[in-house]
Structure 1
């Protein structure tokens, strides 16, 4: 009963807790419903096939979503002949794919991303993709393409492949987004075969066909049918969906953490305000256990109502979130959110758990309040910095500075994580230091202003100095908000520019040619930069399921890169011909290779070659595990695309129209982040910044509303002492602005120190100066938002309090 009465009496104090929990449960409910609804889907290309055979899977422990091992051409032909003879099978169709994109009006249209949309016409039977108009291709220069392009049969079209643009005649159109060439024309453009579809005869028993096919393929290969067709999902789609899941999981984790932070800070601040109340309860006989139980009751009462409201909002908004993920390319088209009971129950229970955990520390502190606290009238805090707070502040600050130094000397892969840990430690340290720093800052800021503002300035200054904990409590959320937002945005900008500069510095480039409207550069686009340095990515398969990311290097790229390579064994001079490779030391240690050894390597087309390891280099000498001659990679990976060409000569090359390429300066290239992974990372960071801003701004508003609402007595004394309403509001405004200024300054200091460490480390590693481009729009927007919320959350409650004290004030001071 006492808990419920307290909630009714101090409803303003619990508004922030209610809002934080309600929003937290809303986001948890949304993400849980979307996560449980997200699942792999069978590709539409196999919608008309009931039974398919899949090649052995590659090891996925590295998280790269590598495609299955391709069959060799001989093994493919053998399987097709054997499966074609299975009773009930009309045709065994090997699924071959290659990069294809139409060029309309001199520009590539409908960027396929990482999806390979080109196929031989025989593969159309797997969908089945029926002709919407025209006929099947008969000549090697004919193509069946998507009807959405608006090209009728007989029209001329340029088709862009990995080799470059080539003229074709439209023989027909289909409703899908696929491009079909004749089997003979598609063969040289496609890589290895990983799936063979079994087109069954009418009335055939799919289960019997699958059983017979499994006996033929043996244990290594898999027969997929029925509900397991979803396992054929392309690895590019699986990776995109996985990134979307990481965003959702991060949203849920950050929501739980910040909800706990807001709830805990709310109850902790209420202890300061309710000190005399708890002292009075102790005076009349309340035990520490009863005090704790009362506070748990308050948290539980607010938590039940907030969690229930959050479930309703989360259920309504979950389909909206699902639609946004589909629009952002993080879920496949047609994805829908399904309502399920378990996520709803879990979200409700987690909301209550957050409420109880948030009040745990505060309840222990409240239970230690002595009965004599009921006699205290002064708000002066004689010991705002306790011994434990000093130890924690010094420890976390020292740890943060040490981690900044560690981050500066870390490798590029570990630098961001170490910098983030450093910032977190510094935020905790300076937050704990705030009561000690605030008096110094207040005196420094108000000394010149006090002479100009007179009594109003003096009252605001003394109020801030008297209630140091209150000032620190309002500045802390601003510190976290500004520090976190600026740090995340700044790290992203440094990462984008620094990592993009890594290869330009390594290659000594003066300009670069990059894709424009295409997923990569064709050989024709690469040829526009004579002598340019280019890297052609591929995947190598060794020892069964193991795989290695490799790069085919052009002569220009190798000549530039070898100057920065450190050879541990072997010789770079032997890197000649198609059967040689250079390997990083970590890869040789993993696979047991040595310089001078010859090993079997399977390429993307399924062919196995014996390649000689001519040199072992240190890990920091190359961004790729294995380096091969570019021509070798192209011979085995006909659909591989180059991502960038580095030009080192005078002037900038100008690629011709229709190649899907553009020329950029190195600085413009460093600032550009148009690749799919970078786009998804930006979405990820935007969500994190938005959520951190939203929650910590909520903490700012809640803390100030609580502090201002509890100062009615102070305002009444000021009015009775002769202060006008405008002067009182000006005092409140000055105090709020000071709190925001202190928090923003400390937050910027933390972010700047950490970002300087990142820049120093990257500059040292790359051997060139990496620019520190502070995210000024983010800084200004964040500080302005904090200030607006602080003023609204303090001035408005102050105006309401002044109205209540107006009668008493007017009696003595009209």
Structure 2
């Protein structure tokens, strides 16, 4: 069987070229996406700041909830426990005396209380400073220096009003001992003198964070923290590691005790690269690639098998059974995909590195993210490509091998008809699934984009299942419309109506190409547009906005809004908070909010109640709908450092995009967020307030409200979406070209064009005939693609703000429509021109 399959592949090299390239690209994209996802799932912090410590006791780094379900059945009671955790964006504090209680333990040389806190640093000229790869600057007390260990290269330990910076930060700021830097934390702005430059052995700093050390006596006043964020234990020489850990655990209580590679997790969360977002992003890349690969490969293999109907009939005449033919086609597909994987897997490695580099440029992944080549992922991608190609061949062979042996003697061989019932059943199931998602899943929430893709995929499966039937319905009017005007158009209409399966094989990839990509682009553009619009509406009531590089301490903002002439002010302090939903902690974008004055400077479009104050909070319509909250309800909320508070719901607002789903008192957020800085202040004022602001705080920037950019990372997200669209477009574009080339270059079409040439048709007339057929096919594909896009985008748009939109962005829509149409027309015209060269057509006796 293998020898026969190899002979068939050699004999039909041209026919299988399209399948080969489709399989190669599928393996490449699956391998690339798999490497990206595997790399981000296994990514580890690039350095351990506690490398010199034997044991580290950590404050809270996540919120963990346990849901207990008790089921009674007859005489048995079954207890089911489900534990869910959510990461904190800050670090919980430990008791201030914990390090002292550990100092006397057996095996402990010394216990060091480590206070880690983010700082904003700038030069006296106002230039902001960051670490390598735009890493954050993290402050510590000088006692923490031995934990890495850092040692002085020049200068001395910091005293009051002094700091020690790492060598990398010193080189970036061109600062030496005796120089000055402006340090901003949530407790205020300080002009501090550099007393020394330190570095770990053999390098200038840690790869993911820059370090700044203050005097131990000043660490509490600078950081604003009530206690250490971690306690690190340096072991005595010869201490037993197991006994040391047990001794520390006896004093630490419920606090996590970390050793080995786990010590790094005791660091401040903001000091470690965050891979949560990239995991979902690369998972989405895998989802798009896998779906497109299955869709495209199945169609390409099916079309390739249909070319060989007469050959299969001849084999049936020679005594081959349907089972033998199915095995033959299956072996051929596996061999072909295996050969295609040889260049496909290396291409996947290149693809992964290119995508990772682009995502780093966009800021969608940490700058330290690197792609690791994993042989298991490459093998899995190869196996997946072979499996999809094999399944496609089996699906195509299911009806093709039932061809009657007597058809081998006929002029052409046609696959048996039938199979409408299972196709219709599949279409009903997938359509029902898509409708259920679009109707019952809240598309205005965090699952909206993902569910819109799944809905598109289900509708595309329905289109593929009913492809020939839908094409037959569409080609009747389209062929008469596009084919009007002369014998060539009339003949093109007849051909497309007579060959709905061939037309469907080419049109369905066009549907995929347009619907998937247009849906992603239009929905992401809609979210960006709505976010920008809500930002403008929120801030329209303010006269101006005040910002500063890195943020403003709340104390500075309080003095700012108390200036004479300020009639209204609203300050926002970004953070994240966690609430409980069904026993599971859920993390939400949150704003600390300070409102002052008699005039409104921020309009959240309150639908009920008031803005938050002492002991209260406000929430978006989306989250109150999800949780069933009502004004007056008391809700348990975990703040960024894990501190738990019970707050009363005071108000419900509508304008949450680019703002957040929760609004808490700014003073509460500033006390428990590690950064704790105000991002923007909206002002309404009279008189010379701008001049006095500039005189008192020259580092502040006062701009007209309408010039303010929306909050969040919408630009990075949009760039990531566009990159994924480019990937999907590239793959499906090649699929379209493949299917067009295969459909036109079949032996039946070669004989058909030869017959027309012998009947007197000129080459130009045949070119026009192929062009008209391509126009009808492209029109049918785009009509179905527009229908799928309209359903999904319309439902997504209605869920966002109650407005039904189909186009969203007319320029994007027209560009996608034109690009897909142009590609389809070119893909139809080029193979025809190659085929219509005189020497490419069969002679009178060829195959007759």
Shift of 1:52: 2.0
Q: Give distance in 2, aligned partners of 1:65 and 1:465.
A: 59
User: Among residues 6, 18, 43, which one is paired with 2:8 in the alignment?
Assistant: 6
Preserved contact between residue 360 and residue 367 of structure 2 (Cα < 8 Å): yes
1:484 aligns with 2:516: yes
Shift of 1:392: 5.4
Q: Give distance in 1, aligned partners of 2:352 and 2:618.
A: 50
For residues 559-588 of structure 1, the C-alpha deviation after alignment (integer angstroms, 9 at most, x for no partner) is: 877972546xxxx69x754x5556899899
Shift of 1:257: 3.0
Preserved contact between residue 581 and residue 627 of structure 1 (Cα < 8 Å): yes
Partner of 1:564: 606
For residues 701-748 of structure 1, the C-alpha deviation after alignment (integer angstroms, 9 at most, x for no partner) is: 111111111121122122212223233233223322442343234323
SS of residue paired to 1:299: helix
Partner of 2:333: 299
Q: Give distance in 1, aligned partners of 2:635 and 2:380.
A: 56
Shift of 1:291: 1.8
1:464 aligns with 2:460: no
Instruction: Return closer, same or farther for 1:465/1:802 CA change in 2, 3 Å cut-off.
Output: farther
1:194 aligns with 2:197: no
SS of residue paired to 1:489: helix
Could you state the TM-score of these two structures normalised by the residue count of structure 1? 0.81
Q: Give distance in 2, aligned partners of 1:44 and 1:591.
A: 43
Shift of 1:403: 5.5
Q: Give distance in 2, aligned partners of 1:226 and 1:741.
A: 63
Shift of 1:448: 6.7
Query: Map of 1:643-792 to 2, 5 A cutoff?
Result: 643-646=679-682, 659=699, 663=703, 665=705, 669=709, 672=710, 675=713, 678=714, 681-682=717-718, 684-710=720-746, 711-764=749-802, 773-774=808-809, 776-777=811-812, 780=815, 783-784=818-819, 787-788=822-823, 791-792=826-827
Shift of 1:598: 11
Shift of 1:18: 1.9
1:534 aligns with 2:538: no
User: Among residues 378, 389, 398, which one is paired with 1:364 in the alignment?
Assistant: 398
Instruction: Return closer, same or farther for 1:412/1:638 CA change in 2, 3 Å cut-off.
Output: closer
Partner of 2:53: 49
Preserved contact between residue 28 and residue 347 of structure 2 (Cα < 8 Å): yes
Which segment drifts farther, 475-484 or 715-724? 715-724
Shift of 1:477: 0.8
Q: Give distance in 2, aligned partners of 1:541 and 1:763.
A: 26
Partner of 2:593: 553
Instruction: Return closer, same or farther for 1:326/1:418 CA change in 2, 3 Å cut-off.
Output: closer
Q: Give distance in 1, aligned partners of 2:835 and 2:688.
A: 66
Q: Give distance in 1, aligned partners of 2:129 and 2:805.
A: 35
Shift of 1:362: 1.4
Could you state the TM-score of these two structures normalised by the residue count of structure 2? 0.78
Partner of 2:201: none
Q: Give distance in 2, aligned partners of 1:71 and 1:515.
A: 30
Query: Map of 1:469-618 to 2, 5 A cutoff?
Result: 469-499=501-531, 501-502=533-534, 505=537, 509=541, 513=545, 518=550, 524=556, 530=566, 531-538=568-575, 551-555=591-595, 564-566=606-608, 577=614, 579=615, 613-615=647-649
- RMSD between superposed Cα atoms in Å: 4.8
Q: Give distance in 1, aligned partners of 2:635 and 2:288.
A: 50
Instruction: Return closer, same or farther for 1:784/1:772 CA change in 2, 3 Å cut-off.
Output: closer
Q: Give distance in 1, aligned partners of 2:490 and 2:638.
A: 79
Structure 1 unaligned residues grouped into runs of 5+: none
Shift of 1:306: 1.9
For residues 20-54 of structure 1, the C-alpha deviation after alignment (integer angstroms, 9 at most, x for no partner) is: 32233334444545555533236443344343221
Partner of 1:242: 276
Instruction: Return closer, same or farther for 1:769/1:238 CA change in 2, 3 Å cut-off.
Output: farther
Preserved contact between residue 158 and residue 164 of structure 2 (Cα < 8 Å): yes
SS of residue paired to 1:726: helix
For residues 539-576 of structure 1, the C-alpha deviation after alignment (integer angstroms, 9 at most, x for no partner) is: 67999997976653323599877972546xxxx69x75
Which segment drifts farther, 482-491 or 60-69? 60-69
Q: Give distance in 1, aligned partners of 2:788 and 2:539.
A: 35
Partner of 1:153: 177
SS of residue paired to 1:172: strand
Which segment drifts farther, 278-287 or 551-560? 551-560
Query: Map of 1:362-401 to 2, 5 A cutoff?
Result: 362-374=396-408, 377=411, 386=420, 389=423
Aligned residues: 790
For residues 84-135 of structure 1, the C-alpha deviation after alignment (integer angstroms, 9 at most, x for no partner) is: 7665524513233133232564343438989452233333332333344444
SS of residue paired to 2:97: helix
SS of residue paired to 2:161: coil
Q: Which has the higher helix share?
A: 1
Which segment drifts farther, 554-563 or 689-698? 554-563
Which segment drifts farther, 658-667 or 414-423? 658-667
Structure 2 unaligned residues grouped into runs of 5+: 65-82, 199-203
Q: Give distance in 2, aligned partners of 1:57 and 1:547.
A: 15
Query: Map of 1:120-159 to 2, 5 A cutoff?
Result: 120-140=141-161, 144=165, 146-147=169-170, 148-159=172-183
Shift of 1:296: 0.7
Preserved contact between residue 453 and residue 516 of structure 2 (Cα < 8 Å): no
1:170 aligns with 2:207: no
Shift of 1:420: 3.6
Preserved contact between residue 50 and residue 225 of structure 1 (Cα < 8 Å): yes
Query: Map of 1:24-173 to 2, 5 A cutoff?
Result: 24-33=26-35, 36=38, 38-41=42-45, 43-59=47-63, 64-67=86-89, 70-72=92-94, 75-83=95-103, 87-90=107-110, 92-103=112-123, 105-110=125-130, 115=136, 117-140=138-161, 144=165, 146-147=169-170, 148-162=172-186, 165-173=189-197
Q: Give distance in 2, aligned partners of 1:498 and 1:185.
A: 45
Q: Give distance in 2, aligned partners of 1:781 and 1:563.
A: 36
For residues 228-264 of structure 1, the C-alpha deviation after alignment (integer angstroms, 9 at most, x for no partner) is: 3343465457773233333444334433332222221
User: Among residues 270, 282, 288, which one is paired with 2:304 in the alignment?
Assistant: 270
Q: Give distance in 2, aligned partners of 1:557 and 1:436.
A: 67
For residues 280-318 of structure 1, the C-alpha deviation after alignment (integer angstroms, 9 at most, x for no partner) is: 333333222112111112112212212333344445666
Q: Which has the higher strand share?
A: 2
Q: Give distance in 2, aligned partners of 1:431 and 1:317.
A: 29
1:424 aligns with 2:461: no
Shift of 1:361: 1.5
Preserved contact between residue 732 and residue 795 of structure 1 (Cα < 8 Å): no
Shift of 1:472: 2.2
Shift of 1:464: 2.3
Preserved contact between residue 515 and residue 661 of structure 1 (Cα < 8 Å): yes
Partner of 1:630: 666
Q: Give distance in 2, aligned partners of 1:679 and 1:554.
A: 27
User: Among residues 353, 370, 379, which one is paired with 2:387 in the alignment?
Assistant: 353
Which segment drifts farther, 45-54 or 517-526? 517-526
Shift of 1:603: 6.1
Q: Give distance in 2, aligned partners of 1:517 and 1:737.
A: 55
Q: Give distance in 1, aligned partners of 2:639 and 2:427.
A: 56
